[in-house]
Chains A and B, each alone.
Chain A
């Protein structure tokens, strides 16, 4: 069971987050102040931390800086009401692994925590495999059970990202940030359209689906049962 340390001064937000995470099988420890949080981060050895930036009398970034200085590499997600690009850049530069701006959908938070816990291993293989799906990183080609799948470069990038994170919920924002590397919020459902294209090529009508749309949340790539 993964251990999450939540450092958040607002009790109500903390309660909601804890309820959701506990419901999903996480073990959650909560600290309401920076000092307490730092203490628990050092002693409790959490697997992942959620840190609010605006804590009473302390910037959450200070905690991360202190931990990184002590060579504590626990992945950290920053929660912040400060959503400007430079705030975000500063947050990520401090050594945090992800940055989520308030207000957020709780499912977005959960998906990102899962992603942090399952950071893809530094895989040197030149072929990625999920069930019948095969992606050759050298020849930039894809096959599903022997059937060649013709992909445009952008579709190839998207599929590679998903295969490295199989069985994980990937939200639209995560995909847009990570695959396209864009930091703005598109007005149109860009990700859905691109995903639709990819799905059309990966899952033919007679095949069992591998790309799942999780309503209101995002997408998952899974080997067929």
Chain B
């Protein structure tokens, strides 16, 4: 809303300056204009009709009187004038020189040519009641003997009609306008009140009360609809804030633990270390734990980065079998060290749409977990196969597995099953994989029960031609 210029001393009330009120003014103006136009039309049509009717009468009478014999003519004029209680008839007979012979007209009207259609003139009426100037429609005819006959009719009736219309306007238009202005002001005040209520609520929300919602009146008006939309948005924001708060608690917990250990270790080292190597070993331990905390932060930021990156941004065609083989190559020695039988197979050579580095990271994370949780002399399988028209990366280990109740939790940040408390890890691996799968639109499934099986199912683009013939069903049925 614009601010009144500094020079203006009077500020209009708030409700007058609202858009609603301005629109009311515009609407009232338009209404008034329409009413004026309508009344004007009615007046114009009526006046035209009445005038035409008067003119017809005048023409008829003048022809009749003019056609009568001279002696009958004076009588006809008298008769015509005598039967006129409303005193609207006018008639006059004038000599060729313009001198008055008979009738109630004082003189031959100026600007009234003879033998033309009736027209509007100003005349002076004289009769028993005196002398009066009137506006009239009149027609003049020159008679055979040179005299001029004037027949007229007072049309003050028309002015009367105009006055009636004016009065109707006064009684109709002014109250209507006033009413519409009042209605506008009321609407404006009401809208303003609702804005004020909403503003109060919003201020409370800004102040941190996220449970607050905008009021609705169940009226299904635009204001209510807007409030419903905003409330929906607030629901979403509240849920998000709560989840962030939850994640924050998790972060605080998992960061505080190593940091507390660092602090205790350093304190103890400071008190008890006797030699430099003693102190160094304490400091080394502290640095190791700090690195762990930093790794947690890095991993969290990484998940956030993946969750917030836009899909397809930097996506390309990825040969998934190559990724699987590379991960296998990277983890083979680690598995071997633990005497774990590590089997890597790729039955198909699919091309998927995705971010190669992220897909590598996801598969590597799953293999990392599998190797970590499998006991010595166990086995881990990394396989790429086809199922229906999608390809599946499957990682199976011989570890303790995940119970059904824990299955949904493991993809959550920081969740580590009780079984894994003694194994190194940040508890972020699966949530990272989950974020990557989500970004790609792939499906991540984790089996429950012993010997965990994790699968990433992805729709593949094409089967890259391979040296070995692909399985028969692979080429035909899949698409």
Which A residues are within 8 Å of any B CB, using their own CB? 83-86, 101, 103, 105, 154, 180, 182-188, 190, 193-194, 196-197, 216
Contacts and interface: CB of A to CB of B under 8 A. Distances in A.
A23 B294 CA distance: 26
B333 A188 contact: no
B372 A188 contact: yes
A202 to B, nearest CB: 15
Contacts of A103: 294
Given A187-B365, A187-B424, A193 B333 contact: yes
Interface string B340-383: 00000000000000000100110011001001100000000000
Overall SS of chain A's interface: loop
A188 B334 contact: yes
A180 B294 contact: no
Given A185-B298, A186-B364, 18 more contacts: A83-B301, A84-B302, A85-B305, A86-B305, A182-B357, A184-B302, A185-B295, A185-B299, A187-B424, A188-B334, A188-B368, A188-B372, A190-B331, A190-B334, A193-B337, A194-B333, A196-B337, A216-B284
Contacts of B333: 193-194, 196-197
Contacts of B301: 83-84
A84 B306 CA distance: 9
Contacts of A85: 305, 357
Nearest to B428: A187
A194 B294 CA distance: 24
9 contacts: A84-B301, A84-B302, A183-B357, A184-B361, A185-B298, A187-B372, A187-B424, A188-B334, A197-B333
A154 B329 contact: yes
Contacts of A182: 357, 360-361, 364
Interface of B: 284, 287, 291, 294-295, 298-299, 301-302, 305, 309, 329-331, 333-334, 337, 357, 360-361, 364-365, 368, 371-372, 424-426, 429
A185 B294 CA distance: 11
Nearest to B337: A193
B429 A187 contact: yes
B60 to A, nearest CB: 100
Given A103-B294, A193-B333, A186 B284 contact: no
Contacts of A188: 334, 368, 371-372
Nearest to A176: B330
Contacts of B295: 185
A86 B305 CA distance: 9
A185 B300 CA distance: 12
A187 B334 contact: no
B358 to A, nearest CB: 9
A10 B284 CA distance: 25
B300 to A, nearest CB: 11
Contact of A83 (B298, B334, B361, B372): B298
Nearest to A89: B314
A181 to B, nearest CB: 9
B436 to A, nearest CB: 11
A186 B368 contact: yes
A83 B330 CA distance: 24
